[in-house]
Structure 1
Amino acid sequence: MGLGPNYKLKFERRNEGKTNYYRRYTYVMSRARRLVVRITNNYGIVSVIDFDPAGDKTLVSAHSIELQKKYGWKGDTNNTPALYLTGYLAGIRAKNKGITSAVLDIGLFTPTSGARIFYAAKGAIDAGLDIPIGDVGIDESRLKGEHISNYAQKLEKENPEMFSRVFSKYIQRGLNPKDLPSHFSEVLSKMKGEKNG
């Protein structure tokens, strides 16, 4: 740790790795409505947030645990398909509140092509929100979980014991990981039915 008269202590939230103050400043100055995507070790959270001097206001939010509780999702709650579905759910809720656009807020995340965070934004876009993200390497097959399904097929053939270990949670929840793309489509259809209903 630096010491001496010229040492500057970082803001607490920056020190804790929670806030990028430069990005925060640009959002505050633009007063943009933000689609905030955060990914934890187990979950994905997508919110639409408005700036307010007294403290940001969350207008709508979706948590990936809701996929299991409300829509019968049996896959992991922080993988690519789950992030897309969580973004889609947040997008539906935003549209129902009359929100039509937002800018993507990725916090301290370093943007890389094809990252899960962009799949969450893609979900919100497909639900009807206008969010400029450019070309961020979205792969339609990955979005549906085909990469997980292909890996599961390969692993089951080559090492059945490891297959059972790696995908134990899927199997416990009653889903063969090879069927993830079709399961993804079922859950998305339920959401679309709710959106149009």
Structure 2
Amino acid sequence: MAKLVVYLICYLILGISFAESLLAAPVYTWTDESGVVHYSSTQDSKRAKPAELPEINRGEVLIKKTELVSCADHGGIDCQAGSDQDGSVICYDGFRGATARYRFTCASPKLQITDVSELSQDGSFRVTVRNSRSVEANSPAVLYTPDQGPEVSLSGPEKIGAFEVAEFLFTAKNSDIPKEKVTIAQLNVVCANCP
């Protein structure tokens, strides 16, 4: 915080000291005996007259506000239809004006942990994973990181289809039985074609 105050004071002092130089000073022009035109901020010659220069102003650039159009009102994104000519997605009803890029939306699955069950008597638990994209997830894995010990991979399917849900099972061994309910923070979901 103290550094910020020091920086602000330095900028204020610099701004005040250079404020005079920021104002537009008059520019003088004259032509010498050999026909060379000179410009100066001081009136050095008796022939120097104020120069007629265009006024310095800032450009008024109009920035067009872009409107993001989604497939929400058009049945969702249809990744099976491929990309539009401009590289955007095509919606299920055939609408082609969406702004989402096919390359980023449809090239990989998106896996989310939606539920973690309570611990069973033997210390096992189930994790529900949802694929929220229309790309199949290959070799998905749910990794559990216990409070102590190495990371453990849960058993589950080899693929999760587009918009499908899958369940992964942790079978406890004597050494790694969780003492309390596992949280999502202790789990990580990955797959071979996930970003």
Structure number with the bigger relative contact order (C-alpha 8 A, sep ≥ 6) is: 1
TM-score by length of 2: 0.20
Higher-Rg structure is 2
More helix by share: 1
More strand by share: 2
TM-score by length of 1: 0.19
